[in-house]
Structures are given as structure tokens and as C-alpha cells.
Amino acid sequence: MPSAGPEQTKRIVVIVWAALLASVGLHFMLTRVLPPPALVPDSQLPAPLLVLAIAAALGSFYFKARFGVRGDQLRPLAMVRAAYITALVFSEIPSLLGLVLFFTVNWPRTWLFFGISALAFAINFPSSDDFASLKN
């Protein structure tokens, strides 16, 4: 099987980006459509999960910057593809944490987790310049 070229790799990464971003919207819609569980007052769970969500979003930027395209080093196409996919998976984590928080304690500000996730996806959008000068 021949390896994917830069254009095909970018197309694959954009498809994965769109699918994972759509799942953030789906998670948000689930919190609006499904009946909420009983509210757990004074729960301590939102604070550590919020810290974990922010850490995951920052981790997504780290993986993209560390293993993705760098101006000073020519990276293999497979490494850039893996960096983008890893960054996108880390961008999805805040959304999943928001969904978990909704179903466990029904925290009223779960939309914050979906916003963090959407922001991470917006910043991690695959740029055409990142794939233009890569080697197979």
C-alpha cells in the first residue's frame, strides 16, 4: 500500500478534525436534550476536572508544536499526522469531561468544558502550510 502524500494526509486530518468537532456539538446537545440527573450541591468535582480540561487543551498545543511542523526541522509526514491526531484527541478530552460532569453532578456550567474543547479545536485546525513542504 503506498503511503499517503501531503495533500491526502491533510485531507485525512481535516476529516478527523471535523468529526471530533462535531462530537463536541453532539455532547453539548446531549446535555440540552437529555433529562438532567439530580443536582449535587457543593460538589468538589468541577474544580479538578476543569483543571484537567485546561491541561488537556494545553497538552494538545504542546503535541502539535513539539511533534508537528517546525520551521527549523523537516519532519516526516507520518510524525506530523500523528502529532495532529494526538492534538485533536487531547482537544476532545474537555468535552468528554464536561459530559461526565453533567451526568455525575449536573453542574450548571458544563458549557465551559465544551467551550474549552471548541477553542482547542479552533486553534488546532490543520493548516495547508503545515503539509506543503513535508517529506513522505
pLDDT digits (tens, 9 = 90+) for 7-35: 888 888 899 999 999 999 999 999 999 99
Helix, strand, coil abundance in the chain, percent, nearest 5 = 70, 5, 25
Q: How confident is the model at residue 67 (pLDDT cuts 50, 70, 90)?
A: confident
In this model, does residue 68 exceed pLDDT 80?
no
Provide the residue ranges of all domains of the chain, joining segments of one domain with +. 6-33+43-132
pLDDT of residue 113: 97
Distance CA 12, CA 99 (A): 27
Record the pTM. 0.86
79 band by pLDDT with thresholds 50, 70 and 90: confident
Mean pLDDT of the chain: 87
